[in-house]
A and B are shown apart, each in its own frame.
Chain A
Amino acid sequence: MARITLVGVAKAFNDKQILDRLDLDIENGELIALLGPSGSGKTTLLKLIAGLDTPSAGRIEFDGSDVTLVSTRHRQAIIVFQDHCLFPHLTVKENIAFGLRARNEPRATIDRKVGEILEVVQLPGRQNSLPHALSGGEKQRIALARACVLKPRALLLDEPFSNLDVNLRLSMREFVVSLQRVLKLTCVLVTHDKEEAFVMAERVAVLLDGRLEQVDTPENLYDRPKNKKVAEFLGEANFFPGVMADGVFSCALGSFTTPWQDTRQAVGMVRYDNVQLRRHTGNALGKIKDKVFAGRYTFYKVALAAGGELMASCKESFAIGDTVYVSCADHAMQVYRE
């Protein structure tokens, strides 16, 4: 359990910048998600925190003391990988005991701690199984137990659930969150899955092309993406080019108040689920061009009479070819100055 601070951390491989001067403060006992597409540098950052690699610039601090050059072995930051990485030749008990053995703890203590953590991960009685005899979810829980039994200063999860099937993934998410709270671990979850990040983390750090674009609570991130890049990455967003003048942004969807007073070109963003479709009143006239039923919502593609298209998701039912009025609340329109 430690507060982790990244100060100007950068990493380059053969002149290619993978991570570009990141600053990030992770609170003691916090679960933060690092969200980004594959190739954005998430795993590289995790390896830097664990000490499997050294940054090209900047420093990493645990509880205020610089650990940038502390070896992996003494750093007490443990990655749980996607493919669990259990030692295949050791039993469950031996796997979990591995780190305790490395610390030369007495046998009685090891036995007690292994027993306790197996209770916590709800797998007592699997002590003498070999990893290949376990199911995917069980392997992942043993891998978590092996890390957690050491009470690491940082628990680093590298896409830990992406090899599991959907239902198992959901229950593992809950399980990890409760485990992290019970053991009060500082935890960094790397994922490319927005929903996973939102459901599990207290804060989400969006990493795009090696830069931290936004670090925020899931609510803020969803409602107010800081820039167009983040909004595009989070998806289900409509963009409208328009003009900003005297605190008003005007685009195909109408006029919206903004906090800015300058006059310039701008882009407005509205999420699919913030677009309202009505039959009789609204800001802009449009016609339903296409629809896709997706369970909770139906997605509609609407062609605006004034030109352009947008996507909306709602529960109301319209038919293809229906005429609708499109509108959107002031607070739902995010305006980005280009």
Chain B
Amino acid sequence: MKWGRAVVHLVMWTAAVACVSPLLSLIVLAFSAQWPFPHLLPSLFTADHLAELLLSPRLVEAVTTSLALALLTTVATLLLVFPAAKAAGLYSFRGREALKLLALMPVMMPAATVTMGLHYFMIRVGLAGTMLGVVIVHTVFAVPYAFRILMYVFEIMGEQQEEQAAMLGAGPLMVFSAVTLPLVMPGMVAAATMSFIISFSQYITTFIIGGGRLLTVPLLLVPHVQGGELHVASVYSLVFIFTALAALVLLRAVVRHYYRETYFLNP
């Protein structure tokens, strides 16, 4: 027992350190002015890069676009995935296994392959270089993950709760809003988080479909990393991390708020 606990703690703390330590080095890098070779820490700190970059109009534009894309992708993904995941998780029908496999296809192939194919198609229908086009391609890559998550949640939930609600006289709308939705809400939050992160961190797909007309945070970040401008790259990385984090915290807060305040039966 004792050993088991020690192992759990060891794994937990290792994971925590592994996750947080790169962030620390990013912060240090973002504030460093001079960092000569053998020193463990920079010899001079400054907030100049940060101030300069944070106020640049390009960064504001990139953050806004990234957030908008991620939000739209999340909504589109959830709308698409909810009915499919419910069907695959709860009901048995012909072709169910095929559907499960098909839903995974976009991530089983290299992203570039899928995107190239989609690009050709989007040029023809005039969606290349548009917001909608990029949302569609992000959604393609978010769907497999969100689908899997929600499908398992539906499998765990089972049909009985909905059946019980119907026997008590609830119509389809009440069954959905008062029983199904609250019960799968944790899965919805997980699926939404996943979709949001996937969209937020897309690089190659945004690059190809957006054709450079849509500027997102990864598009701003990657050239600086490749160009060796580590101060700039680390500032952008911090912005990237904290924007995503803030959006997710906000998402959870909204869900909590919704469920506490307007909880459908609470007097």
Which A residues fall within an 8 A CB radius of B? 50-52, 71-79, 81, 83, 85, 87-90, 94, 97-99, 101-103, 107, 146-147, 150
Alpha-carbon separation in the docked complex, A76 to B168 (Å): 7
Partner of A146, one of B168, B174, B182, B267: B168
Out of A78, A94, A107, which one reaches B167, CB within 8 Å?
A: A78
**Interface pair A102/B169, CB less than 8 Å apart:** yes
Q: A98-B265, A107-B267 are in contact. Are A87 and B161 (CB under 8 A)?
A: yes
Across-interface contacts of A72 in B (CB, < 8 A): 163, 166-167
Contact status B167-A102, CB under 8 Å: no
The list of the 8 closest CB pairs from A to B, nearest first, reads A99-B168, A102-B169, A94-B265, A72-B166, A102-B170, A89-B182, A85-B164, A78-B167
Minimum distance in angstroms from B245 CB to a CB of chain A: 27
B219 at the interface (CB under 8 A from A): no
Question: Known interface pairs A88-B183, A107-B267. Does A98 touch B165 (Cβ–Cβ under 8 Å)?
Answer: yes
> What separation, in Å, do the CA atoms of A76 and B166 have in the docked complex?
10
Contact of B161 among A78, A85, A102, A103 (CB under 8 A): A85
Subset of 22 A-B contacts with CB under 8 Å: A52-B167, A72-B166, A73-B166, A73-B169, A73-B171, A74-B169, A76-B169, A81-B160, A81-B164, A85-B160, A87-B165, A87-B179, A88-B183, A89-B182, A94-B265, A94-B266, A97-B265, A98-B265, A99-B170, A101-B265, A146-B168, A150-B169
Q: Are B170 and A98 within 8 A (Cβ)?
A: yes
Given A88-B183, A107-B267, are A98 and B168 also a contact pair (CB < 8 Å)? yes
Besides A99-B170, A103-B169, A150-B169, 15 new A-B residue pairs in contact (Cβ under 8 A), listed by A number? A51-B167, A72-B166, A73-B170, A75-B167, A79-B163, A79-B164, A79-B167, A87-B164, A88-B183, A94-B265, A98-B168, A98-B178, A98-B265, A102-B168, A107-B267
Which residues of A are found within 8 Å of B267, using beta-carbon distances?
Answer: 107
* Nearest neighbor of B259 in chain A, beta-carbon distance: A89
Are the CB atoms of A52 and B179 closer together than 8 Å?
A: no
Q: In the complex, what's the smallest C-beta–C-beta distance from B38 to chain A, in angstroms?
A: 58
B138 CB to nearest A CB, Å = 31
Which chain A residue has the least Cβ–Cβ distance from B167? A78
Output the nearest chain A residue to B160 by Cβ-Cβ distance.
Answer: A85
Give the shortest distance, in Å, between B236 (CB) and chain A (any CB).
Answer: 41
By beta carbon, the residue of chain A nearest B182 is A89
Q: How far is the CB of A111 from chain B (nearest CB, A)?
A: 8
Closest approach, in angstroms, between the C-beta of A327 and any C-beta of chain B? Answer: 53
Q: CA of A278 to CA of B158 in the docked complex: distance in angstroms? A: 58
**Once A and B bind, how many residue pairs between them come within 8 Å at the CB atom?**
63
User: What is the bound-complex CA distance between A97 and B169, given in angstroms?
Assistant: 11
Task: Give the docked Cα–Cα distance between A99 and B267 (Å).
Answer: 16
Q: How far is the CB of B128 from chain A (nearest CB, A)?
A: 45
Report the nearest A residue to B178, measured CB to CB.
A98
A251 to chain B minimum Cβ distance, whole angstroms, is: 50
Bound CA–CA A103/B183 (angstroms): 22
Most chain A CB atoms below 10 A, which of B161, B183, B265: B265
Cβ contacts under 8 Å, A51 to chain B: 167
Residues of the A chain whose Cβ atoms lie less than 8 Å from the Cβ of B168: 78, 98-99, 102, 146-147, 150
Q: Is the CB of A52 within 8 A of B169?
A: no
Q: Which residues of B contact A101 (CB under 8 A)?
A: 174, 265
* Cβ–Cβ < 8 Å partners of B178 in chain A: 87, 98
Complex interface: chain A residues within 8 A of B165 (CB): 87, 98
Contacts A85-B160, A87-B161 given; does A77 touch B167 at CB 8 Å: yes
Smallest Cβ-Cβ distance to B166: which chain A residue: A72
Once bound together, how far apart are the Cα atoms of A73 and B170, in whole Å? Answer: 6
| Listed residue (B166, B182, B183, B266) with the most chain A CB atoms within 10 angstroms of its CB | B166
Residues of A with C-beta under 8 A to B171: 73, 102
The B159-212 residues at the A interface (CB cut-off 8 A) are 160-161, 163-171, 174, 178-179, 182-183
Bound complex: CA A97 to CA B178 (Å) = 12
A71, closest chain B residue (CB)? B166
B residues in contact with A83, CB < 8 Å: 160
Inter-chain CA distance A245–B182, complex, in Å, is 71
Closest to B165 in A: A98
- A107 vs B168: C-alpha distance in the bound complex, in angstroms? 17
Shortest A82–chain B CB gap in Å is 10
When chains A and B are docked, how far (Å) is the Cα of A334 from the Cα of B92?
47
